[in-house]
Every structure is written in C-alpha cells, then in structure tokens.
Amino acid sequence: MHSSFTKNIFSPVLTFAIVTALVTGCSRGTANTSQLPGGTQAAGTTPVVLYPKYRDGMYSATGNYRDPAALESVDVSLKLKDGIITEATFQGNPQGKKAQQYLDLFASGYKELVVGKSINEVSLGVVNGSSLTSKGFMDAVQQIRTQAAAS
C-alpha cells in the first residue's frame, strides 16, 4: 500500500515539476516553439504568432461600414516596406452630412496611428471621436493584408 500511495502522490508532483520547468523555460525563450502541420501548436510549447511576409508596394482597397443612416465606404491606400506602413491615404465617400463630419474627424487623426507601424499591428477603434469610420478603414486594411501577402 505504501508504494501505491507513493506512486499516486509523486506522479502528480512529477507532472507539476515538469510543467513548471516547461513554463519557466518558455518564459525564458528556451522551449521548443515549433508549429505542427495545419497551424496546431505542439504540446508544451510557447504559442507562436506567424505573420505572413508582405510584398513591398502600394496597395488600395475600399472598406465598408454601416452607420445609422446608410452603408458607407472609404478608399484606403497603404504603401508597405518590409511590412511597415510608410504612407497612407484615406478618402471617405459620404452618403450624408453627418457622415462627412465623422469622416473628417477620422481623416484628421488616423495617420499618426498607422504610418510607421507594422500592418499586422494596426487596429483602429475610435479616432478623434469617429468609431464607425474605423470599421471601414480596418475592412480595407484586411483586404490590403490579403493583397500584399507574399505567396
């Protein structure tokens, strides 16, 4: 009975020690970080975010969003160099005066949140009080990510 007791106690303790060692090693960057086929993460490894490589160049897309009055669209162009946005242009296509006000607010503040950033890190919410316009902008950014992804 003693050996069964010891085995039942030490098995969880040993498992805890191994998991602790792996977690500690992962935080120091020493664990195996390999991905399995299909993007599955191997057990006991640090999650790895793999971003595609992007081709340099100028890319454009039209993003859409719905405001309370209408379906709105915005035209976005981004110039990429090594996955970094080096230039950005934005043009709204308003369906009404209220939409134009929010497009103008967005246009006056989005560049500082985009230019100089990795295209993977861009995630805009409220920009100068405009929140819905950001949805259209991000729709266009997602399309540009797809266009620019190297095969």
- The topology under which CATH files domain 57-148 is Sufe protein. Chain: A (3.90.1010)
- Say what the pTM is: 0.67
Q: Which pLDDT tens digit goes with each residue over 5-54?
A: 444 544 444 444 444 444 344 333 333 333 444 444 555 666 655 567 99
Task: Give the CA distances from residue 52 to residues 11, 73, 82, in Å, rounded to whole numbers and listed in that order.
Answer: 42, 27, 11
Give the span between the Cα atoms of 73 and 59, in whole angstroms: 17
Read off the pLDDT of residues 18-28 as tens digits, 9 standing for 90 and up: 444 443 443 33
Taking the domains of the chain in order of start, what are their residue ranges? 2-39, 57-148
- Residue 104 in this model has a pLDDT that exceeds 90: yes
Residues 6+ positions from 106 with CB-CB distance below 8 Å: 90, 92, 127, 128, 130, 133, 134, 137
